[in-house]
Amino acid sequence: MNGLPELNLKHLHAMVAVHVHGGISAAAPHLNLSQPALTQAIARLERQLDAPLFDRQPGGMVATEATRLLAPRIERALAYLARGVRAARRAARLPALATIERRLTLSQLRALNAVDSAGSFTLAAARAGVSQPAM
């Protein structure tokens, strides 16, 4: 995996929300998360990236330079995912669901990429060394 941390998409959503809303308390309702869960998500992301993402202050959380650099990129990536999910649901004639892209995991995206590259679930599973149902 190239030595990179296994990032959680939900934690990236959390970082962006805290950045946009200026703090844990303000961001929590937008993500339907408790403040402790959101705090833990940010802390884990900071550990994985080995960088502070926010300066904690009495008036809220102020983005560090790392967050100011990462947030716009993460927002763009998450917007691409949201557009892709909407397009896939539309193509499958499924109703739109608000923020359904927040349920995606990196494992699901890797599996989708593997199936797309291989052209079938069977070949993708064989290449990945997993069963077809697991794929």
DSSP 130: S
What are the Cα distances from residue 92, in Å, to 48, 87, 96, 113? 36, 9, 11, 18
Question: What domains are there in the chain, each with its CATH number?
Answer: 9-96 (1.10.10.10), 105-135 (no CATH)
- In this predicted model, what pLDDT tens digit does every residue of 61-109 receive, in sequence order? 899 999 999 999 999 999 999 999 999 999 999 998 888 888 888 888 8
Q: Helix axis angle, 65-91 relative to 9-21, nearest 10°?
A: 120
- In this predicted model, what pLDDT tens digit does every residue of 96-133 receive, in sequence order? 888 888 888 888 888 888 999 999 999 999 988 889 99
